[in-house]
């Protein structure tokens, strides 16, 4: 796979690789793996939230604000 990077990003990756003492290919692969995993978790969380909303498992803004106030008060004790 070949990708094009703008100059600033390429320089940042080169510097990161140099400081880490790793080949740039290793740094790019590690960074991409982390981003893909983050994106997968984010999408799964969004889908779970949508399923909850579709199933009626939602709270009003008033309920959320009341719960936050309760937690703040408990933490202040």
Q: What is the 3-state secondary structure (H, E, C) of the chain?
A: CCCCCCHHHHHHHHHHHHHHCCCHHHHHHHHHHHHHHHHHHHHHHHHHHHHHHHCCCCCCHHHHHHHHHHHHHHHHC
Domain-located, residue 18: yes
Residue 1 has pLDDT above 90, yes or no: no
Domain-located, residue 58: yes
Structural domains counted in the chain: 1
Predicted confidence at residue 11, as pLDDT, reads: 96
* Residue range(s) defining the domain that contains residue 70: 7-76
Residue 65 has pLDDT above 90, yes or no: yes
Predicted confidence at residue 24, as pLDDT, reads: 95
Domain-located, residue 16: yes
Rounded Cα distance, 71 and 30, in Å: 38
Q: What average pLDDT is seen over the chain?
A: 96
Domain-located, residue 1: no
Mean pLDDT over 36-47 rounds to: 98
Domain-located, residue 2: no
| pLDDT tens for each residue of 17-37 | 999 999 999 999 999 999 999
């Amino acid at each position: 796979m070949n990708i094009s990077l703008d100059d600033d990003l390429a320089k940042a990756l080169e510097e990161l690789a140099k400081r880490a003492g790793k080949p740039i290919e290793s740094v790019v692969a590690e960074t991409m793996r982390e981003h893909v995993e983050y994106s997968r978790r984010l999408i799964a969380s969004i889908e779970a939230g949508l399923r909850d909303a579709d199933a009626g498992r939602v709270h009003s803004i008033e309920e959320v604000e009341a719960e936050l106030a309760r937690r703040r008060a408990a933490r202040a004790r």
